C-alpha cells in the first residue's frame, strides 16, 4: 500500500500546484490581476483613495475653496469633498467625487491633492510608516474679484477672466451659468439651468472688434503702420471682394489708426487686414496664443483653442480681411484668450503663461512646488505694445469704451460687438487693463446674446471687476 | 534531538507569527489599543504549550511536525480573524482551547485506534445521520444545508461526519481489499461492490439533500483515494470518478441551486451576476489582485465599506483565503499552501510507518480528506472549481471545524505514535 500512498501524495502536490498557479494568476499583473484591477466593477482603488483626506484648495488669500467632510471612523472612515464657497469657483476648482469623476483643478492637480508620489517614493514612505497625505494647493484666485464678477454678470450668460499681466496669474475665472459642486452627487443632479461648461475656457465666441487689438499690434509691430497712419474709413468698402460696412453704416474720411481703434472703424481694419495678408496676421495670432490650447494649468479637455480654423458650413477660404475685424465665420476666441491679448499689451508685448496655482504645500508646511511666472512668447516690441496701449487708452477716454472709466486710474481697453447672424442679438465684449501707465490687472468680459453693445453692456462689468481687484484705495489715489 | 524536543522548537514559528501578527494589527489601530487583546495570543500560546506537554506524556513517539504545523496554521487564522473583527478572535481562541480539550480526550479515550474497527457500522450510521441533520433541522445558507442552529451556536455536522466516514471506509476496505484486489472485475460480487455503490449513492444523496457540491466532492474524493490505496486498482477509481461525474453532471442540469453555482463559477463578471450572485467570488478575486506579490501587510487591506459592512461577504469563513492573499500576497499564500502540503506529507508519513492495514488506511484517508478540504475551499476562492461553503482547516472561524480537525489531528498522532514505536523501526530509521 505504501507506493499507493506515495502516488496519492504526488496527486496532492499536483492539486496544490494548481492552487498556487491559480493564486499566481489572480495576483500577478502580467497574468490575470491587471484585468481584475481594470474591471469596472472593481471599486477597491477608489474606496482606498477615500480613506485619505485630499489636500485643500485655497484661494490666494487662504479662503478654503475645497475641503473634506469625514464620515465614519476606524476602518469605515471615508472622506468626501465639500466646497464651502458653493458655486463661487465651480468651474475653476471643479469637483472630485468617486462616483462622478473629477474636473477642473481637482482633476489637474489630482496627484498632489491625493498625495500620490512616484511608486518608489511611496513604497519607501510606507515602509517608514508615513501615511499617504494630500497636499494643499494655493491658487491665484481672488474671492472678492470673483464674487463681484458674478454679481456684475447678474445671471446673464457669459464669462469674466482677469489676469495679472506681469505674472499670468488668473485672479478671476467666472462663467455663467455656473453650478454648485456640492450638488454633483445629488439625486436631482446640478439642477436645470446650471452648467458645467466653463465658458471662460470653452466658450467659442466671435471676438468682434476686440480682435482689432491683435490687428493693430500686427500693423504697428510689423512696421507697416504707425498710430498716426491715415487710412480711409469710408463705408461701405470692398474687402476681399465683398462690401463691408461700418457699425451703423457710419462714414469716416481719412482717419488715423488711433482714431480708427477709438471709434472701432471696420473698414479701416478690414483694409489693414487685407494689406497685411494672411501670413502676417496669422504670425501675430500665433504669438498671442491663438491656434492652440492655452498653456494654463487646467485639464486640457476643459479648454479649447482659439483662432481661425476650417469649420464646416463656413465656406472654404478664411477671409483675413474680416478676421482682422473679428467678425469671420471661421474665427472664434475664448474669454481667456482675449484676456491674454489685453495682458500681453499691458506687459510690454510679452505674453506670460497663464497660471491658476501658485504653489503646492505639504501638510507640514513645506512648499513642494512653487510656480514662478513664465514667459510664453514675445509677441511684439515694447514700443509697439506701448503704442497699441496708447490707442486703447483713447478707446476708454473718448471712444466706445467710456463706461469702463475708473475714478482714480486710467484704463486701456477695447469694446466688441459681434453680430450673431440671423438675429438682432450681439456677442458683446470688453477687454482691457488698468492702470494704463502701470498695468496691474487685465480683464476680458463677454456676454452672450445681448441686445446692447460691448461699450454699454460689457464695459461696466469690466469696470467693477477692475475696481475691486485694484482696490478702492489704489484707484482713488492712483 | 528527541522527537518531542523537535516539536517544542517547532512551536517557535507559530509563537513568532502570533506575537508579530498581533503587534502588526495593533499598530494600525493606534486609537484603541487594548492590553486585553494580547491575552488572546497568550491563551493561544498557553494552549500550544499544554498540548505539547500532553503529547510528550501520552504519545512520546508521535510525529514531531504535525502539531507545530497546526499551530502555524492556527496562528495565521487567529491573527487574520483578529484583524477582521476582534470578537471573532476572542471566540476563536476559545474554540481553540476547546479543540485542545477534544484533542486530549481523543488521545485519552482512544489508547488503541484499532478499537474503532469494532464500531464501524455505528460510526457509519452516525455519520450519515449527522450529514442529513441540517436538512432535517437546519436552514439553508446560500441554498446549501450545511449547518444546524442551536440557540446562537451553529453546528456543522459535515466536519465530524468526514472523520466518521473515513473511519468506516478504512475499516471496511481493510476487510474487503483482498477480494477487490484479486477478483476480476465481473466476478466482484455485489456484496463487495456494495460499499462503492453505497458511497456513490450517499454522495449523490448529499448533493441532493445538502446541495453542496464542495462537501460531496470532498467525501467522494476521500473515498476514491482510500479505494486506490486499498486496492491499487485505477479501474475502480476511474469507474467511481466517472459515476461521480455523471451524477454531478445530471444534478447540475436538474437542480437549479447547483446549476446556478456552476453558472456563477463560469461567468462571475457577467453584468447580471457581478453585483448579485457572483458578487462573492468577484470580490474575492478583486481582493487577491489587490494583494499582488507581497500583499498589503497585516491589517492594511481594504475590508470595510463606508456603511461598516465588509466588502467581502463571509471574510472570516469562506473568503478568509482571499483576505490572506490580500494582506500577505502571493508569497504569503504560497507559504500557507506549502504549510498545508507539509502537514499532508507528515500525515501520509504516519500512514507509511503504520504497521497495520487499518492504521495505514485511516491515516491516509484522513490526510486525503484534509488535503481535499483545502483544495475545495482554496480552489473555490481562486475560481479553479465552483465556490462552496467549506472551511479552511484550522484557519477559518468556526467551532465545529476547529474541534473536528483537532480530533483528526489526534487520530493521525495516535496512528503515528503506534507506528513509530514498532520494534522493527527502532534504531534510527524513522525520519
pLDDT in tens, A381-436: 999 999 999 999 999 999 999 999 998 899 999 999 998 888 889 999 999 999 99
Asked if residue A160 and residue A92 are part of one domain, the reply reads: no
Question: Is A24's Cβ below 8 Å from some Cβ in B?
Answer: yes
- The minimal CB distance from B229 to the residues A5, A27, A33 is found for A5
Asked if residue B79 and residue B140 are part of one domain, the reply reads: no
Angle CA A66–A68–A74, to nearest 5: 165
Mean pLDDT value across residues A349-376 = 94
Across B337-346, b (16+ Cβ under 10 Å) vs e yields: bebbbebbbb
- The minimal CB distance from A15 to the residues B285, B364, B375 is found for B375
Q: Which of B239, B266, B293 is the last residue of a domain?
A: B266
Q: Is residue A37 part of a domain?
A: no
Asked if residue B327 and residue B261 are part of one domain, the reply reads: no
For each of chain B's 431 residues, which pLDDT tens digit applies? Answer: 788 888 888 888 888 888 778 777 777 765 555 655 667 778 888 889 999 999 999 999 899 999 999 999 999 998 888 888 888 888 888 899 999 999 999 999 988 888 888 888 888 888 888 877 877 776 666 666 767 777 667 778 888 988 998 998 898 888 888 777 776 655 556 666 676 677 667 766 766 676 677 777 888 888 889 989 988 888 878 888 888 888 888 878 887 777 888 888 888 888 778 777 888 889 999 999 988 888 887 777 888 877 677 788 888 888 999 999 999 999 999 999 999 999 999 999 999 999 888 999 999 999 999 999 999 999 999 999 888 878 999 999 988 999 999 999 999 999 999 988 865 555 544 44
Asked if residue B281 and residue B222 are part of one domain, the reply reads: no
A328 CA to centre of own chain: 23
For A256-310, what is each residue's pLDDT tens digit? 999 999 999 999 999 999 999 999 999 999 999 999 999 999 999 999 999 999 9
Q: Is residue A319 part of a domain?
A: yes
C-alpha cell of B50?
499544554
Contacts of A459 (CB under 8 A, 6+ apart): A401, A402, A403, A404, A413, A415, A430, A445
A4 CB neighbours in chain B (<8 A) are 228-229, 232
Distance separating alpha carbons of residues A64 and A71, to the nearest angstrom: 20
Q: Is residue A7 part of a domain?
A: no
- Asked if A12 lies within 8 A of B341 by C-beta distance, the reply is yes
Asked if residue B383 and residue B410 are part of one domain, the reply reads: yes
Asked if residue A210 and residue A236 are part of one domain, the reply reads: yes
- CB distance B210 to B170 below 8 Å: no
Asked if residue A147 and residue A134 are part of one domain, the reply reads: no
Asked if residue A461 and residue A369 are part of one domain, the reply reads: yes
pLDDT in the model for residue B429? 47
For chain A, give the mean pLDDT. Answer: 91
Q: Which of B244, B266, B288 is the last residue of a domain?
A: B266
Distance separating alpha carbons of residues B404 and B386, to the nearest angstrom: 24
A18 CB neighbours in chain B (<8 A) are 379, 384
Question: Is B229's Cβ below 8 Å from some Cβ in A?
Answer: yes
- SS3 for chain A is CHHHHHHHHHHHHHHHHHHHHHHHHHHCHHHHHHHHHHCCCCCHHHHHHCCCCCCCEECCCCCEEEEEEEECCHHHCEEEEECCCCCCCHHHHCEEECCCEEEHHHHHCHHHHHCCCCHHHHHHHHHCCCCCCCCEEEECCCHHHHHHHHHHHCCCCEEEEEECCCCCEEEEEEEECCCCHHHCCCCCCCCCCCCCCCHHHHCCECCHHHHHHHHHHHHHHCCCCCCCCEEECCCCEEECCEEECCHHHCCCCEEEHHHHHHCCCHHHHHHHHHHHHHHHHHHHHHHHCCCCCCCCCCCHHHCCCCEECCCCCCCCCCCHHHHCCCCCCCEEECHHHHHHHHHHHHCCCEEECCECEEEEECCCCCEEEECCCCEEEECCCHHHHHHHHHHHHHHHHHCCCHHHCCCCCCCEEEEEEEECCCCCCEEEEEEEEECCCCCCEEEEEEEEEECCCHHHHHHHHHHHHHHHHHCHHHHHHC
Pick the range with the lowest mean pLDDT from A78-82, A87-91, B322-326, B371-375: A78-82
Asked if residue A175 and residue A202 are part of one domain, the reply reads: yes
Asked if residue A155 and residue A135 are part of one domain, the reply reads: no
Q: Is residue A395 part of a domain?
A: yes
Q: Which of B266, B299, B324 is the last residue of a domain?
A: B266
pLDDT in the model for residue A115? 83
For residue A409, the domain's CATH number is 3.40.710.10
Asked if residue A356 and residue A242 are part of one domain, the reply reads: yes
Asked if residue A220 and residue A263 are part of one domain, the reply reads: yes
Percent of chain A with pLDDT over 70: 95
- Of B258, B279, B252, B268, the closest CA to residue B383 belongs to B268
Q: Higher-confidence residue: A442 or B424?
A: A442
Question: Is B378's Cβ below 8 Å from some Cβ in A?
Answer: yes
Neighbours of B265 (CB within 10 A): 18
Asked if residue A218 and residue A341 are part of one domain, the reply reads: yes
Asked if residue B259 and residue B164 are part of one domain, the reply reads: yes
Its domain, for residue A245, covers 143-183+197-477
pLDDT in the model for residue A175? 96
Question: Is B288's Cβ below 8 Å from some Cβ in A?
Answer: yes
Question: Is B89's Cβ below 8 Å from some Cβ in A?
Answer: no
pLDDT in the model for residue B302? 81
Q: Is residue B271 part of a domain?
A: no
pLDDT in the model for residue B305? 76
Asked if residue B316 and residue B216 are part of one domain, the reply reads: no
Q: Is residue A230 part of a domain?
A: yes
- Measured between CA atoms, the residue of chain A closest to residue B309 is A76
Asked if residue B292 and residue B260 are part of one domain, the reply reads: no
Whether the predicted pLDDT of A130 surpasses 80: no
Question: Is A2's Cβ below 8 Å from some Cβ in B?
Answer: yes
- CB distance A210 to A429 below 8 Å: yes
Asked if residue B158 and residue B126 are part of one domain, the reply reads: yes
Neighbours of B233 (CB within 10 A): 18
Its domain, for residue B130, covers 114-266
Pick the range with the lowest mean pLDDT from A42-51, A370-379, B323-332: A42-51
A72 CB neighbours in chain B (<8 A) are 306, 308
- Chain pair A-B, CB pairs under 8 angstroms: 135
- Of B318, B146, B154, B124, the closest CA to residue B215 belongs to B146
For residue A478, name the pLDDT band (cuts at 50, 70, 90): very low
For residue A65, the domain's CATH number is 3.90.1310.10
Asked if residue B349 and residue B259 are part of one domain, the reply reads: no
**Number of folded domains in chain A?**
2
pLDDT in the model for residue B430? 45
- Measured between CA atoms, the residue of chain B closest to residue A26 is B289
C-alpha cell of B119?
464500531
Asked if residue B145 and residue B25 are part of one domain, the reply reads: no
B residues 26-65 lying closer than 8 A (beta carbon) to A: 29, 31-32
pLDDT in the model for residue A477? 46
**Number of folded domains in chain B?**
2
Asked if residue A310 and residue A161 are part of one domain, the reply reads: yes
Whether the predicted pLDDT of A74 surpasses 90: no
Whether the predicted pLDDT of A71 surpasses 80: yes
Asked if residue A283 and residue A402 are part of one domain, the reply reads: yes
For A104-115, what is each residue's pLDDT tens digit? 999 999 889 988
For A300-358, what is each residue's pLDDT tens digit? 999 999 999 998 888 888 999 999 999 999 999 999 999 999 999 999 999 999 999 99
Question: Is B275's Cβ below 8 Å from some Cβ in A?
Answer: yes
Q: Higher-confidence residue: B262 or A9?
A: A9
Question: Is B293's Cβ below 8 Å from some Cβ in A?
Answer: yes
Asked if residue B71 and residue B26 are part of one domain, the reply reads: yes
Q: Is residue A35 part of a domain?
A: no
Asked if residue A292 and residue A147 are part of one domain, the reply reads: yes
Neighbours of B30 (CB within 10 A): 7
Asked if residue B402 and residue B290 are part of one domain, the reply reads: yes
Distance separating alpha carbons of residues A166 and A445, to the nearest angstrom: 20
Cα of B32 to nearest chain A Cα, Å? 9
Neighbours of A425 (CB within 10 A): 13
Q: Is residue A406 part of a domain?
A: yes
Amino acid at each position: 500500500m505504501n507506493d499507493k500512498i506515495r502516488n496519492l501524495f504526488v496527486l496532492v502536490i499536483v492539486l496544490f500546484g494548481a492552487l498556487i498557479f491559480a493564486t499566481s494568476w489572480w495576483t500577478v499583473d502580467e497574468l490575470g490581476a491587471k484585468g481584475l484591477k481594470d474591471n469596472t466593477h472593481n471599486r477597491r482603488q477608489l474606496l482606498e483613495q477615500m480613506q485619505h483626506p485630499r489636500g485643500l484648495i485655497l484661494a490666494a488669500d487662504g479662503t478654503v475653496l475645497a475641503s473634506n467632510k469625514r464620515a465614519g471612523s476606524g476602518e469605515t472612515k471615508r472622506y468626501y469633498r465639500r466646497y464651502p464657497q458653493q458655486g463661487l469657483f465651480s468651474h475653476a476648482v471643479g469637483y472630485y467625487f468617486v462616483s462622478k469623476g473629477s474636473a477642473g483643478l481637482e482633476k489637474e492637480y489630482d496627484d498632489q491633492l491625493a498625495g500620490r508620489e512616484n511608486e518608489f517614493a511611496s513604497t519607501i514612505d510606507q515602509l517608514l510608516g508615513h501615511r499617504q497625505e494630500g497636499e494643499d494647493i494655493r491658487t491665484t484666485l481672488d474671492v472678492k474679484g470673483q464674487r463681484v464678477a458674478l454679481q456684475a454678470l447678474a445671471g446673464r450668460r457669459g464669462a469674466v477672466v482677469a489676469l495679472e499681466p506681469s505674472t499670468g496669474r488668473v485672479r478671476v475665472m467666472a462663467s455663467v451659468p455656473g453650478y454648485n459642486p456640492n450638488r454633483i452627487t445629488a439625486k436631482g443632479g446640478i439642477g436645470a439651468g446650471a452648467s458645467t461648461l466653463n465658458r471662460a475656457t470653452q466658450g467659442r465666441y466671435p471676438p468682434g472688434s476686440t480682435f482689432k487689438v491683435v490687428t493693430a499690434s500686427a500693423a504697428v509691430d510689423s512696421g507697416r503702420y504707425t498710430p498716426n497712419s491715415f487710412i480711409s474709413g469710408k463705408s461701405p468698402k470692398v474687402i476681399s471682394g465683398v462690401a463691408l460696412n461700418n457699425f451703423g453704416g457710419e462714414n469716416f474720411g481719412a482717419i488715423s489708426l488711433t482714431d480708427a481703434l477709438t471709434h472701432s472703424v471696420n473698414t479701416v481694419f478690414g483694409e489693414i487686414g487685407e494689406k497685411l495678408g494672411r501670413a502676417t496676421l496669422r504670425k501675430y495670432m500665433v504669438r498671442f496664443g491663438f491656434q492652440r490650447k492655452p498653456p494654463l494649468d487646467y485639464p486640457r479637455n476643459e479648454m479649447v483653442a482659439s483662432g481661425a480654423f476650417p469649420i464646416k458650413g463656413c465656406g472654404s477660404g478664411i477671409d483675413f480681411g474680416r478676421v482682422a475685424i473679428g467678425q469671420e465665420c471661421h474665427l472664434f476666441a475664448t474669454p481667456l484668450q482675449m484676456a491674454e491679448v489685453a495682458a500681453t499689451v499691458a506687459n510690454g508685448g510679452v505674453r506670460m503663461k497663464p497660471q491658476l496655482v501658485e504653489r503646492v504645500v505639504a501638510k507640514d508646511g513645506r512648499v513642494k512646488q512653487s510656480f514662478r511666472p513664465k514667459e510664453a512668447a514675445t509677441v511684439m516690441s515694447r514700443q509697439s505694445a506701448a503704442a497699441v496701449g496708447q490707442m486703447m487708452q483713447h478707446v476708454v477716454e473718448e471712444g466706445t469704451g467710456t463706461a469702463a472709466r475708473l475714478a482714480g486710474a486710467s484704463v486701456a481697453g477695447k469694446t466688441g460687438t459681434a453680430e450673431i447672424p440671423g438675429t438682432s442679438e450681439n456677442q458683446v465684449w470688453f477687454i482691457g487693463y488698468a492702470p494704463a501707465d502701470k498695468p496691474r490687472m487685465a480683464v476680458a468680459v463677454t456676454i452672450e446674446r445681448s441686445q446692447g453693445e460691448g461699450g454699454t453692456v460689457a464695459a461696466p462689468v469690466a469696470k467693477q471687476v477692475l475696481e475691486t481687484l485694484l482696490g478702492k484705495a489704489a484707484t482713488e489715489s492712483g | 534531538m528527541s522527537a518531542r524536543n523537535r516539536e517544542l522548537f517547532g512551536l517557535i514559528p507559530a509563537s513568532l507569527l502570533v506575537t508579530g501578527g498581533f503587534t502588526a494589527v495593533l499598530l494600525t489601530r493606534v486609537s484603541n489599543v487594548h492590553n486585553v487583546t494580547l491575552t488572546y495570543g497568550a491563551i493561544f500560546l498557553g494552549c500550544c504549550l499544554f498540548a505539547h506537554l500532553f503529547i510528550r506524556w501520552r504519545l512520546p513517539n508521535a510525529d514531531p511536525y504535525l502539531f507545530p504545523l497546526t499551530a502555524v496554521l492556527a496562528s495565521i487564522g487567529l491573527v487574520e480573524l483578529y484583524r477582521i473583527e476582534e470578537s471573532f478572535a476572542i471566540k476563536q481562541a476559545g474554540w481553540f482551547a476547546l479543540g485542545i480539550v477534544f484533542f486530549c480526550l481523543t488521545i485519552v479515550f482512544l489508547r488503541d485506534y484499532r478499537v474503532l474497527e469494532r464500531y464501524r457500522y455505528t460510526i457509519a450510521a452516525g455519520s450519515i445521520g449527522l450529514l442529513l441533520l441540517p436538512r432535517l433541522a437546519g436552514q439553508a445558507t446560500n441554498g446549501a444545508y450545511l449547518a444546524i442552529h442551536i440557540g446562537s451556536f451553529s453546528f456543522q455536522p459535515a466536519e465530524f461526519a468526514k472523520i466518521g466516514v473515513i473511519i468506516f471506509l478504512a475499516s471496511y476496505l481493510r476487510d474487503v481489499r483482498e477480494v477487490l484486489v484479486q477478483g476480476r472485475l465481473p466476478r466482484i460480487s455485489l456484496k463487495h461492490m456494495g460499499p462503492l455503490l453505497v458511497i456513490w449513492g450517499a454522495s449523490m444523496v448529499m448533493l441532493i439533500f445538502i446541495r453542496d457540491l464542495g462537501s460531496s466532492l470532498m467525501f467522494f474524493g476521500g473515498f476514491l483515494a482510500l479505494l486506490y490505496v486499498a486496492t491499487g486498482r485505477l479501474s475502480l477509481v476511474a469507474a467511481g470518478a466517472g459515476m461521480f461525474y455523471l451524477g454531478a453532471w445530471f444534478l447540475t442540469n436538474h437542480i437549479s441551486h447547483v446549476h446556478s453555482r456552476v453558472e456563477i463559477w463560469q461567468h462571475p463578471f457577467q453584468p447580471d451576476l457581478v453585483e448579485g450572485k457572483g458578487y462573492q467570488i468577484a470580490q474575492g478575486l478583486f481582493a487577491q489582485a489587490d494583494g499582488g506579490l507581497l500583499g498589503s501587510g497585516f491589517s492594511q487591506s481594504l475590508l470595510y465599506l463606508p456603511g461598516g459592512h465588509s466588502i467581502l461577504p463571509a471574510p472570516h469563513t469562506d473568503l478568509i483565503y482571499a483576505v490572506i492573499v490580500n494582506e500577505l500576497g502571493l508569497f504569503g499564500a504560497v507559504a500557507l499552501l506549502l504549510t498545508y502540503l507539509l502537514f499532508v506529507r507528515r500525515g501520509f508519513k504516519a500512514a507509511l510507518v503504520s504497521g497495520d492495514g487499518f492504521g495505514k488506511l485511516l491515516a491516509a484517508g484522513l490526510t486525503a480528506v484534509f488535503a481535499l478540504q483545502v483544495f475545495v475551499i482554496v480552489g473555490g476562492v481562486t475560481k479553479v472549481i465552483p465556490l462552496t461553503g467549506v472551511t479552511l482547516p484550522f484557519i477559518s472561524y468556526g467551532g465545529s471545524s476547529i474541534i473536528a480537525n483537532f480530533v483528526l489531528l489526534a487520530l493521525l498522532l495516535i496512528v503515528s505514535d503506534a507506528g513509530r514505536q514498532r520494534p522493527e523501526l527502532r534504531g534510527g530509521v524513522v525520519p
